[in-house]
Amino acid sequence: MARTLTLIEAVNEALLQEMERDERVFLLGEDIGGSGGVFKATAGLLDKFGQDRVLDTPLAEGAIIAVAIGSSLVGWRPVAEIQFADFITPAMDQIIQQASKLRYRSAGGFSCHLTIRVCCGGGGGSGLYHSQENAMWFAHEPGLKVVMPSTAYDAKGLLLSAIRDPDPVIFFEHKRLYRTAKGEVPEGDYTVPIGPAAVRREGRDLTILTYGSLTQPSIDAAGQLAQKGVEAEVVEIRTLAPIDKETILNSVRKTSKVLIVHEDKRTMGFGAELAAIVSEEAFEDLDGPIVRVTGPDVPAIPFAPPLDKAWNVDTGAIVATAEKLAAY
């Protein structure tokens, strides 16, 4: 039976059910216990499972991930929380040099059974140290799987898949979606596989490739474009690594035009890799330039509300760019 949940409620339910199912699963992170986390993603879990399985840690991201890696090597299934993506840099050595390379350096003798939940994303005037969407840092690194759901259904199903995956998974949760993304979520156990993209809207005139917080604005833009006679297909790349090339290329070969939409910075962002894939493997199918709508190349998201709004990609920008591409 399904009920309507927000994305953060779906995350909480996934953690609860997996901790009930597998006693090896435990949580660690800053303020995740008594307060239930900054956004209440872990609310109620300390009362149910106790301090041995819901660990409040010091403000030390490197230590959080180091402890999680070590515990995974002796059979535990840690789920570590990084409070904001901006705070993940102290743990880069542990994630990039240790977790991602453990299976490779041991010739398959060891795996790093680790899930890292990361709150990310701009909007809401959170300023420069609480707003980065830096998933590309990790999608670039072989040995890591990187996912970012945009719906409550996918949030639960992908998180359950991540926790059960034998390799390290970085699970990005966009804070703007925590309570705005709502949908039907089954009560029971189910998984959404890591890897496949999702075609959110069928179309024939152009393909919009997107992910995360800009999935719904892209769908909304496609609806507006349809009223103007342009049928856009929206492909959500729920898994940034590994990339589902098949779904992407099938859509591009059908529509012959590609618009890439993402929140992260433009230069060397995830869209650049998508553009490379399309140009290398579907160049002869294209009937126009590969176009991007992205965040700007600025050091960080401004705090001032007008600048914060100007920084963020909106539906209007997607529609305007898509119209130009469709008319090419």
Map out the domains of the chain as residue ranges: 2-186, 198-326
Domains 2-186 and 198-326 share a fold: yes
Measured CA to CA, the distance from residue 32 to residue 41 in angstroms comes to 8
Measured CA to CA, the distance from residue 324 to residue 326 in angstroms comes to 6
Q: List alpha helices for 228-304, DSSP H.
A: 245-255, 270-281
Class of 2-186 in CATH: alpha beta
**pLDDT number for residue 259:** 98
Segment 78-87 shows an average pLDDT of 97
**pLDDT number for residue 302:** 84
DSSP output for 161-220: HHHH-SS-EEEEEEGGGTTT-EEEEESS-----SS--EEEE--SSEEEEE-GGGHHHHHH
Measured CA to CA, the distance from residue 292 to residue 210 in angstroms comes to 10
Q: What is the crossing angle of helices 245-255 and 270-281, to 10°?
A: 60
Segment 21-49 shows an average pLDDT of 97
DSSP state letter for 289: -
**pLDDT number for residue 306:** 86
Q: Are 21 and 189 in contact (CB under 8 A)?
A: yes
In this predicted model, what pLDDT tens digit does every residue of 212-258 receive, in sequence order? 999 999 999 999 999 999 999 999 999 999 999 999 999 999 999 99
H helix or E strand, kind and range, residue 159: helix 152-164
**pLDDT number for residue 297:** 92
**pLDDT number for residue 2:** 84
**Candidate from 34-43, 168-177, 298-307, 312-321 with smallest mean pLDDT:** 298-307
**pLDDT number for residue 207:** 98
Mean pLDDT of the chain: 96
Segment 150-166 shows an average pLDDT of 98
CATH code, residues 198-326: 3.40.50.920
Residue 130 catalytic?
Answer: yes
**pLDDT number for residue 129:** 86
Segment 263-283 shows an average pLDDT of 96
Greatest alpha-carbon span in the chain: 60
Cα torsion 6, 119, 100, 138: sign: positive
Interacting residues of 87 by C-beta distance below 8 A, sequence separation 6+:
61, 129
pTM check: above 0.85: yes
Segment 167-181 shows an average pLDDT of 97
Quick check: 125 pLDDT over 90?
A: no
**pLDDT number for residue 122:** 87
In this predicted model, what pLDDT tens digit does every residue of 192-218 receive, in sequence order? 999 999 999 999 999 999 999 999 999
Segment 35-42 shows an average pLDDT of 95
Please identify which of the residues 113, 130, 174, 262 carries the catalytic annotation. 130
